[in-house]
Amino acid sequence: MSSESQNIDPENSAGASGSQDNMPCPNCRAQMPQGMRFCRVCGFRLGEGVEEYTETVRLDSKGQATASAGHLMTTPFGAGAMVGAGASQVALGKKKRKRKGPHWIVWVILAAIIVSVAGGSFLRPFSMNIGGPSGIGSDAPKSKFGTSKFVSVDGGAMLDAIEPPNGPADKAGLLGGDIITTFDGQTVKDDDDIRKLLASTPVGKTVEVVYIRDGETKKAQLTTINEDEMERLNEQLEARPEGEGFIGEGTNLDRVQVPGMNIYGVQLHDVRRNRPAYISGLRDEDIVIEFGGLPMRTRREFELRIERAIPDTEVKAVVIRNGERLEIPIRIGINN
């Protein structure tokens, strides 16, 4: 066979095909049978574009096992195979090491729970020593005097009012307006001094109290109590079957110095009409200096003495009106 007969003309190769349908090769333009995917002239393969072509990978049995394991480790979001079987065992090993013991924060939480359940009882022996040599700690009972509050004034600490009934100050005969100058032998210059002295005084101790009332120095013996006893005494008054006393003196009251006298009283400014005080004869601008036979030197003392009065009983009030001293009996009503 001659060399000329062996050369194929790309443009005329259709004649050898007869009447078969042909198509040109996209690469060399040679005619090739319709449906053939391989050009016999240039070797071009049809359909090997990026979108259609998938490379065929042939693996031996060992490779197939590895590939299968790798396939199983493929992430579900197309991130590709993570690691092989060997690497997966390493990852599992790391997880196991992390589980050897609880994190430190777990121990902190457990300790907090134990302390809250125990109520901090194991800390109490230490807290009792807090507060200096006096041995008075934050948990130690505090001595109570039996007053609504102390007020700093010139020369000492003034009692605002005596409460509760039958408390330490009440039993000692003290009244609102008394100025404490000495407590248990210690000088009292202001309310801070008396508070510090009470904090260092054991509950139940009897002490001497020096005080000033209407310019006169007096002494009294006072026995302190604790907070629980204070609350019990207050509850007794609230639960009294007779109820609390009431006269309708109003809320606009002032502590004033009585004109021409070296004493203080409680001035009325809003006596309510058709109430026991008004019906009995009390009027606005009257200065109350006594109630129930006791000196009234502070507003709060006057209010508490009215509450302590038994309803439907008569109590005498002494007032100063336009410089004149008047005694007015008041029929006590009930505060409901």
Instruction: Supply 268's token pair.
Output: 């009325």
Task: Give alpha helix (H) positions in the chain.
Answer: 3-6, 61-72, 85-98, 104-118, 124-127, 168-171, 191-199, 227-238, 276-280, 299-308
Extents of the domains making up the chain: 1-56, 150-231, 243-334
Instruction: Give the span between the Cα atoms of 36 and 39, in whole angstroms.
Output: 8
Residue 59: per-residue pLDDT: 53
Instruction: Give the span between the Cα atoms of 105 and 285, in whole angstroms.
Output: 69
- What is the second-level CATH architecture of the domain 150-231? Roll (2.30)
What is the value of pTM for the model shown?
A: 0.60
What residue type is assigned to position 214 of the chain? D
Q: In CATH, which superfamily holds the domain spanning 243-334?
A: PDZ domain (2.30.42.10)
pLDDT in tens, 197-215: 999 999 999 999 999 999 9
Question: CA–CA distance from 197 to each of 194, 271, 275 (Å)?
Answer: 5, 40, 44
Instruction: Give the span between the Cα atoms of 317 and 105, in whole angstroms.
Output: 69
pLDDT in tens, 291-310: 999 999 999 999 999 999 99
125 with 138: CB under 8 angstroms?
no
User: How would you write the pLDDT of the chain (336 residues) with one tens digit per residue?
Assistant: 444 444 444 444 444 444 457 878 877 878 878 777 777 777 777 665 434 444 445 555 444 444 444 444 444 444 444 444 444 444 444 444 445 555 677 777 887 787 665 554 444 444 333 333 333 444 455 899 999 999 999 999 999 999 999 999 999 999 999 999 999 999 999 999 999 999 999 999 999 999 999 999 999 999 999 999 999 999 998 899 999 999 999 999 999 999 999 999 999 999 999 999 999 999 999 999 999 999 999 999 999 999 999 999 999 999 999 999 999 999 999 997
What residue type is assigned to position 266 of the chain? V
The residues, ordered by sequence, that sit 6+ positions from 154 with a Cβ below 8 Å of its Cβ are none
Instruction: Give the span between the Cα atoms of 255 and 301, in whole angstroms.
Output: 11
Rounded percentage of the chain residues whose pLDDT exceeds 70: 69
Fold match, 150-231 / 243-334: yes
Average pLDDT, the chain: 79
Quote the longest CA-to-CA distance of the chain: 161
